[in-house]
Structure 1
Amino acid sequence: MNLLAWNCQGLGVALTARNLKEECFRKKPHLVFLMETKQKASYVRKIRRRCGFTEEWIVNPVGKSGGRALWWSDTIMVNILFSSSNIIHTSMMFDTFSTPSYISFIYGPTDEADRRLCWQEVRIIRNYIRESWLCLRDFNDILSQSEKCGGQPRAWRKILNFKSFVADCELEDLGFDGPCFTWCNNRESLDIIYERLDKALGNLQLRELFPTLQVLNIDPAGSSDHHLLFI
């Protein structure tokens, strides 16, 4: 199974929509997860059809920020088990090949207190997981100081809180190929900051079921400050 996930920073930008369509036709993902679409369902649905997908789950933005979209083809069965402004938790089934039993699509809040609440929700989801589980996307957190370049070091309490969350959920970073950092603040010179905010985590059952799983960080050619993840 192929999966593409992206914090697109506004699906209404022509370059963003074009890059997304090109990646969908080039990589042929079975699922696409988008964050920060900043568009109502009717517009997101139009882009979904252009990218060749038939099924969807959409969370509308609040005002001019937020918005989530999960697209898939009718050849795969996706059950939405839980949905909120920051989490879409699903179970998967496909007739012709294996998929993770569960995939949680997460957008970590930028506010630290809200992020802790989000991690607690995922911990509750973990209590019901008995099979393979993939947990991915923009966590807005890092696991070590090496995942940041530029600016002030990340506060250790934030790193330890995130590491504790990952350990409590019995997840492991699945690594990556491609650029080391997935987000940039696009500032000049000494003010520029890079971070690896976007990642994929998996439990032991997932790693045993898919020993050759790969996570690719893909540069979207300037249409967003985040890279795409292709799994």
Structure 2
Amino acid sequence: MRIIAWNCRGLGNASAVRGLLDIQKRESPDILFLSETKMDWRRMERFRWIINMPNMVVKDCRGSSGGLALFWSKDVDLSVKSRSWYHIDAVIKEEGRGEWRLTGIYGEPKAEEKDKTWRLMRILRNKYKKPWLCIGDFNEVLFSHEKEGGQPKSQACMEKFRYALEDCGLQDLGFEGDAFTWRNHHYKAEGYIKERLDRAVACVEWRRANPLVRIINGDQRHSDHRPMIVETEDRRIYWPKKRGGVSLKFEVKWLEEECGERVRKAWANAIEEGPNNLMNVQRSIIRELHEWDRNVFGRS
């Protein structure tokens, strides 16, 4: 499944619409979460036909600010559970994988009111227990190195964000691509600021169910935010067949062979390659196991 979260900074002009169409054409998302649409439901209605994603839920903007929208394709079994100025919360059913939870977040941008976002996340945590993925523009960084330019971030503000994630049992999933998802595009170098405001976080249960997840910080289109692309399976890895490919999965038959030793060797090799997050290590192990499977069992 492919999920995209994008702070589009308004959809009221041709440039923004072209950016949205480009994302839909190039990335073909199954689910699309938009923040800062700056539109109400009536004006958003046409977009579900423009991007060919007929299912839509909208939280209207307030004046000329805010506004959220969640689109999903006809093949996705999704039910929306709640929404507010800061979120849209949904449950997704996947065949063979059960139910899991997706929350699109738009963090409060005003420093003095950011606690509203962290309070909301704690409330959502207690709603129900399911594997949980949370994505969007949190309007805050976790660490000082996630910002360059401008005034340094308040340590207290970053800590409040970290504590909120800890309380919710959510961990950052990392990223591929440019580290900074937002830029102010100031015309003078001394005024140029860039930050990592957009991210994907998930609980342990969701991460276990999606060991090959990729988070890609995409190319900027119209907005000063990059779209964030979540692939729950690594589409770069497949076994070629006459028609298409098959995503890598753990094979039960490996348990009857020397799988344990192969895993230990693959783990050691992945660590020796240099700094890796857990997701990259898991991908390396799965690749190694399938290469071994092909050589030993003759899979083609």
When the two structures are superposed, what TM-score results if normalisation uses the length of structure 2?
0.73
Q: How does 1:1-231 map to 2 (within 5 A)?
A: 1-95=1-95, 98=97, 101-187=100-186, 188-221=188-221, 223-231=222-230
Q: Does the Cα contact within 8 Å between 1:36 and 1:68 map onto a contact in 2?
A: yes
CA distance in 2, matches of 1:124, 1:46: 33
SS at match of 2:123: helix
Inter-partner Cα distance in structure 2 for 1:25 and 1:104: 24
Rounded Cα–Cα distance in structure 2 between residues aligned with 1:99 and 1:16: 36
- Partner deviation per Cα, 1:46-79 (whole Å, 9 max, x = no partner): 1221111111001111111111110012221222
Indicate the SS of the match to 2:58: strand
- Equivalents in 1 of 2:219, 2:26: separation in Å? 14
Report which stretch shifted further, 126-135 or 77-86: 126-135
RMSD: 1.4
- In structure 1, give the amino acid aligned to 2:100: S
Secondary structure at the aligned position of 1:102 is classed as strand
Q: Is the CA contact (8 Å cut-off) linking 2:68 and 2:87 kept in structure 1?
A: no
Alpha-carbon distance between aligned partners in 2 of 1:89 and 1:115, rounded to the nearest angstrom:
19
User: Could you tell me how far 1:100 is from its partner in structure 2?
Assistant: 6.3
Gaps of 5+ in 2: 231-300
Report percent identity of matched pairs.
33
Whole-angstrom distance in 1 between the partners of 2:220 and 2:139: 19
Measure the CA separation in 2 of the matches of 1:151 and 1:99: 45
1:219 alignment partner, SS class: coil
TM-score by length of 1: 0.94
- Rounded to whole Å, the distance in 1 between the matches of 2:218 and 2:124 is 29
> The residue matched to 1:23 in structure 2 has which SS?
helix
Count of aligned positions: 229
* Equivalent position amino acid for 2:4 in 1: L
User: Which of the two has higher C-alpha Rg?
Assistant: 2
After alignment, is 14-23 or 133-142 more displaced? 14-23
SS of 2:176's partner is: coil
SS at match of 2:133: strand
Q: Would the aligned equivalents of 2:108 and 2:116 in 1 still touch at CA under 8 Å?
A: no
Q: Which moved more, 1:41-50 or 1:8-17?
A: 41-50
Tell which has more relative contact order, 1 or 2 (C-alpha 8 A, sep 6+).
Answer: 1
Unaligned segments of structure 1, at least 5 residues: none
| Paired residue secondary structure (1:78) | strand
